[in-house]
Amino acid sequence: MESRATVRGFGYWSGIDVCVEFRPAPPDSGIVFVRHDLASPVRIPALVANRIETPRRTSLSKDGATIEMVEHILAALAGLGIDNCEVWVDQTEMPGCDGSSQQFVDALQVAGLVAQDALRQQLIVRQVTRLGDSEYWIEAQPSQDGTTTIRYRLDYAAATPAIGRQTAEFSLDREVFCRELASCRTFMLDQEAKWLLSQGFGQRVQPSDVLVFDQEGPIENELRYEDECVRHKILDIVGDLSLAGCRIVGKIVAHRSGHRLNAELVKALLNEAVEMEPRRLSA
């Protein structure tokens, strides 16, 4: 990054206002969140070892401090190829914005991207690794051309025909991410949204902030892509895979996978890299 970038908004779950400031960082720093609102600021590296389980989102914790719903920020950074950045935040939950990574991408691009004097770390998938069961699974395969490709199969046919079954695949680079994935928004079913509201969550969220589907389609909203839902799932995977702390080179194929299973794959790939060929983590 050439300069700092700021994004303001409110958390979907808590409704609390939050300010996120992206700051340039030296080579080999990685992505580090900084909770500067605490009496003593806490640094939380964006690594799968710091991930904690929370429903419907990716959260991190270290030294008693927590940050929630980081996946869209992580996707923006990874999609733009930003390896080193400090993300200073003043609340637990990150801003939901419009449910996509677009606002973060826009701010980061305005700040400017710059190449650093260091090799980029990569984890190269050497063998097939599959996790899950017959209903929900994710698999990493070796890449045939040195790219990172993600293929996702979404199945909401039993829930609503408005979403149905969708499949999408993208070979990722900065241009593809910005054009095809960054603006794809979080989605949920009408009954899920009503339940969350009944539990006190999402009180500030408007229909324009997230895609809520009934049997006919999105409520008081319009799709940006016919298959926006499956594209958003790929966006989530981009963010979750970045918890490896380096770029993963391989083909990822997923069927109804979510944040937990995505993170389990990252752990498995890191373990295999250490056990089989430590040099894989080098650029």
> Distance (Å, rounded) from C-alpha 63 to C-alpha 137?
32
In the block, residue with structure tokens 């300069």: 3
Residue 57 predicted with pLDDT over 80: yes
Residue 184's pLDDT is what? Answer: 98
| Closest C-alpha among 87, 68, 79 to residue 184 | 79
Residue 280's pLDDT is what? Answer: 47
Confidence of residue 274 (pLDDT cuts 50, 70, 90): low
Average pLDDT value for residue range 56-76? 97
Q: How many CB atoms lie within 10 A of CB 163?
A: 21
Average pLDDT value for residue range 255-271? 97
> Distance (Å, rounded) from C-alpha 212 to C-alpha 220?
8
Residue 111 predicted with pLDDT over 70: yes
In the block, residue with structure tokens 């637990």: 92
Average pLDDT value for residue range 57-66? 96
Confidence of residue 275 (pLDDT cuts 50, 70, 90): low
Looking at domain 5-111, its CATH architecture is 2-Layer Sandwich (3.30)
Domain with CATH 3.30.1700.10 in the chain: 122-281
Average pLDDT value for residue range 121-148? 95
Residue 235 predicted with pLDDT over 70: yes
Please give the mean pLDDT across all residues of the chain. 93
Residue 283's pLDDT is what? Answer: 40
Whether 259 sits among the annotated catalytic residues: the reply is yes
Q: Which position among 72, 232, 255, 259 bears the catalytic label?
A: 259
DSSP string covering 125-180: --S-EEEE-SSSEEEEE--SSS--EEEEEEEETTT-TTTEEEEEEEE--HHHIIII
Domain with CATH 3.30.230.20 in the chain: 5-111
Residue 203 predicted with pLDDT over 90: no
The top-level CATH class assigned to 122-281 is alpha beta
Confidence of residue 206 (pLDDT cuts 50, 70, 90): confident
